[in-house]
Structure 1
Amino acid sequence: MQPAQHQRADYAWFQTLGTRWHDNDIYGHVNNVVYYSYFDSAVNTYLIEQGRLDIHEGETIAFVVSSSCDYFNSIAFPEHIEVGLRVARLGNSSVHYELAIFKAGERNACAVGHFVHVFVDRVDQRPIPIPMAQRAALARLLHN
């Protein structure tokens, strides 16, 4: 599922990342699988910083259960990119993110992705309601 828009103004939060030497593949651009690590880094940075998710000791963790990416323009090392994040759907135990990767300062996305987390109990790994701190942080990113 692609976001309806692929422009910077449609995303609520951004994380700046630098591409790394080993991100490039034999064709001279960032390999497609690396985009997923950019998405994962942005989502988890937001949850840790804004939602107080404790990835080491917390009772709740989040598992990726679905992801996809569509590519429009390549990126390569060395470049700075900005990963835009918004929430498409906030359920009881799951959240559907929409992400976009932009070259620094550019208006149009190079790639757009979809990422679904299910929040689970760390011990039994069964779905649980999204904790209030994370729910509040995610609600701020809801896209209409």
Structure 2
Amino acid sequence: MNNEQYKAIVYKKLWFINKKEKNRAHEKLNSTDQELLYEKYGKPSKFVNHFVENEIIDKAAPPSSLYKIITLGGLLFGNVLMAGILITATLLILGTFTLYFTKSMSEALTLQLLYLVIGLVLLFIGYKGIKWINAYFTRRLLIARRFKDIT
């Protein structure tokens, strides 16, 4: 396995880290360009576990007792909200095809354009929102799980 394949696997497994942590992972992975990463760290999973342990969990403050409940609730509520946005966007886009049967031609064209623009914007917000919510709360769950094992 060459270094580029190794880095691709590591970045894929670290999908939930933020930009600052991505920069730190990039620095760690590029600090040893001469030797193979596989020989230095072993499997990509081992590097990922080591990175999560040292860069995310060790630098986090110990969570409170309600931390996990709030995190799970936020994950549930956030995903339900984003799924609602995606469903609304889909219905708006699909609703553009029925406007010709209920409105006049000129009114249907303007509403169709409006529905399409709003629907596409909502699709983008829903997609990015689900990605952001899952990444944020995955980090919080990793921290909560690690500190649960200690206490």
* Length-normalised TM-score, structure 1: 0.24
* Length-normalised TM-score, structure 2: 0.24
**Structure whose alpha-carbon radius of gyration is higher:** 2
Q: Whose helix proportion is higher, 1 or 2?
A: 2
